[in-house]
Amino acid sequence: MTYTVNCSILLTELPLLERPAAAKAAGFDAVEFWWPFDTSVPTDAQVTGFENAIKDAGVQLTGLNFNAGNMPGGDRGLVSWPARSTEFLDNIDVVAGIGERLGCKAFNALYGNRVDGESAEKQDAVGAENLAAAAAGVAGIGGTVLLEPVSGAAKYPLLTAADALKVIARVKDESGAENIRLLADFYHLAVNGDDVAAVIENHAKDFGHIQIADNPGRGAPGTGELPLGEWIARSRELGYDGYIGLEYKEPAETAFAWAIRQRASR
């Protein structure tokens, strides 16, 4: 199984730039990150520091989010937020540059919450335009833009796979972009009441990425009730051949105990 450790939600006891090395020490060769900076256009020194932390650790960066705003404060993306559209557009070249230098091809664009004072129609039009711009911006490095349903954010409009796929279809229709795909986070889909097994049957071959956490609790695999192993295996059978992102909450001391047991049992 090819796992990639999300170092923005795991290993948080450590400073961010120490987490890639910790993931490597735990036996993983790949990492992914939410946007690791406070602004859409960080300084060259900040970018270099981030890139060096990954290169020095000897891990592959497999995924990077576009700037999603203040996530701890409740933001869930800038894509469809008209007042911050320029910030998102300014972020595209920075993301593509990091991806090119580190060989990263997958870039998650959180769609954004509904905002007061703007119609849903306007937000969706802005969102489609910005996703098309992002797709064009990473196309030159063979990159793919990912769009995901999210749980736990009352104003986030993409709750099911169908919600996200509808936006993806609009972007493709309006712009001709082909490098935008669904990020299937099995935890978010399950919490939102989606039929995950049916999503897999219908769309696994088209997944751009898979992420996992168990439910209840968004903990490590095996701490809840979701049949994550079965869902992953079926996705593989149906053609998904990418990484499995570990995006759950668990103290560093026990974060990967399930994976160690799994390897030992083989």
Q: Is 148 a catalytic residue?
A: yes
Q: Is 247 a catalytic residue?
A: yes
Dist. CA 135–CA 171, nearest whole Å? 9
What is each CA distance from 19 to 59, 128, 205, in whole angstroms? 11, 34, 31
Residues near 149 by Cβ (< 8 Å), separated by ≥ 6?
A: 158, 159, 160, 161, 163, 164, 185, 188, 189, 192, 194
Are 150 and 158 in contact by the 8 Å Cβ rule? The answer is yes
- ∠ CA 194-196-199, nearest 5°, is 95
The owner of tokens 């701890």 is 72
| From 51, 87, 118, 247, active-site residue | 247
Dist. CA 176–CA 53, nearest whole Å? 36
| From 148, 237, 250, 253, active-site residue | 148
The owner of tokens 């007061």 is 116
Catalytic residue ranges: 148, 247
